[in-house]
Amino acid sequence: MGEVTIIDVSPRDGLQIEPELVSTEQKLKLINMLADAGIHKVEVTSFVHPLKVPQMADASDVLQAIADRKGLETTALIPNLKGYERAKDHSLSEVNWVSAATETFNAKNIGMSIEDNMSQFLIVLDEAKRDGIKTCFSVAVSFGCPYEGDVDEEKVLQIVRRVKEAGVDRIGIADTIGIATPDHVERLMKRVLDIAGDTPVAIHLHDTRGLGLANAYMAYRAGVRIFETSASGIGGCPFAPGAAGNLATEDLVYLFERMNIPTGVDFRKLLGAADYAASLSTKNPLGRIRHVEKQREKGKTV
């Protein structure tokens, strides 16, 4: 394992907005390629209602097929109690619960108020502890909301305090619309880490405005050691207008490895997985380094 942990979310966050259905077999191939590259934790699917996100309708099939993969921790996003009831019947390492830091985004994304969302999560947390399943609580739009604009840091920190006190296993802070700046990331993440204490904290960055890597570096300087990224940078949120793809896994791994910060990832194999992820997307993937590497292999760049 490396000094930093990379969680790849491309099979879920990367594919969820695709208008054309990606087959279960293609999703499994991507997951296995990521695992072969040394990505030991992958967000493989989500248990949302199939009518809302048709791309994730095969959640059960994906988890059943990947259950015997050794050395791979699987996590699945769940939006509500019903989602957990579906997810817990499968062999998975963790469920990822999402609440927004703003009421408007929460209403549009999940259909609940922040308080109602928290009440359901506390029920799920108790059940998950009994079922032996770890929980992550992710705070969406922590740096800015497409509907309410700037987000008061105290709103984010209040949620972090509550889930920390409740005993969550991991906390995620998400820049859902890719609006964060490095100074904002460093300031907020230091405060989050101070509250979280020994509870692991991850940051989930989108690269909408091209600041994903700079933000990741500042998160690292602040003390973050878990990063959620997407192979080739595919993806985006269907409930966040204008949000582009995620920070590309291979771009972040390249940055860390050049800085002699171990990731435990085989970069060459990761590039293959990124190429495959890009082939599954109808969007313009945001990842940069794989294009540079292709040119370098052709002898056109150093």
Catalytic residues: 237
What's the farthest any 2 CA atoms get from each other in the chain? 57
At which residue do the structure tokens 């990521």 appear? 34
CA-nearest of 46, 7, 56, 16 to 236 is 16
Cα dist. 201→81, 204, 252 in Å? Answer: 23, 10, 17
CA-nearest of 103, 102, 109 to 150 is 102
Are 139 and 101 a contacting pair, CB within 8 Å?
yes
Burial category of 187 from C-beta neighbours within 10 Å (exposed 0-12, middle 13-18, buried 19 and up) = middle
Instruction: Could you list the beta-strand ranges (E) of 71-215.
Output: 73-78, 94-100, 134-140, 170-175, 201-205
Cα dist. 274→13, 119, 197, 215, 263 in Å? Answer: 14, 38, 34, 21, 16
